[in-house]
């Protein structure tokens, strides 16, 4: 099963994956002289939104880490997609072989 082997080998590259979703919020900092005071040129605040012990939490991400953290959250999506494909292959295999003598 060439596809399955390829998918399994790809999982190691996703070991830095993170759960949850990446959120970008726009906000004003409140300083009256800041460029954000016009209400249009707002600051970006990045967050990771994630369940911790079943409860939704949001943690701020420093701007310099935003790109990296976003990638790690995206890894989780690729991991889940690969696992679903692998399980589908294995289920089809099982269903094909279970009734063979």
Write out the residues near Zn ion by the rule CB under 5 A.
29, 34, 36
Shorter beta-carbon distance to Zn ion: residue 34 or 51: 34
Residue 69 CA to residue 47 CA, distance in Å, equals: 9
Residue 87 CA to residue 67 CA, distance in Å, equals: 31
**The Cα angle at residue 36 between residues 31 and 65, in degrees rounded to 5:** 100
Shorter beta-carbon distance to Zn ion: residue 8 or 34: 34
- Closest contact distance (angstroms) between CB of 25 and Zn ion is 13
Residue 101 CA to residue 99 CA, distance in Å, equals: 6
- Closest contact distance (angstroms) between CB of 70 and Zn ion is 23
- Closest contact distance (angstroms) between CB of 38 and Zn ion is 10
Shorter beta-carbon distance to Zn ion: residue 29 or 67: 29
């Amino acid at each position: 099963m060439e596809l399955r082997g390829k998918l399994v080998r790809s999982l190691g590259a996703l070991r830095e994956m993170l759960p949850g979703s990446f959120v970008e919020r726009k906000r004003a900092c409140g300083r009256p002289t800041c460029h954000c005071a016009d209400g249009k040129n707002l600051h970006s605040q990045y967050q990771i939104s994630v369940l911790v012990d079943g409860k939704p939490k949001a943690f701020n991400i420093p701007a310099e880490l935003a790109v990296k953290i976003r990638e790690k959250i995206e890894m989780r999506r690729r991991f889940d997609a690969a696992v679903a494909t692998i399980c589908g292959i294995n289920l089809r295999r099982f269903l094909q072989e279970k009734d063979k003598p």
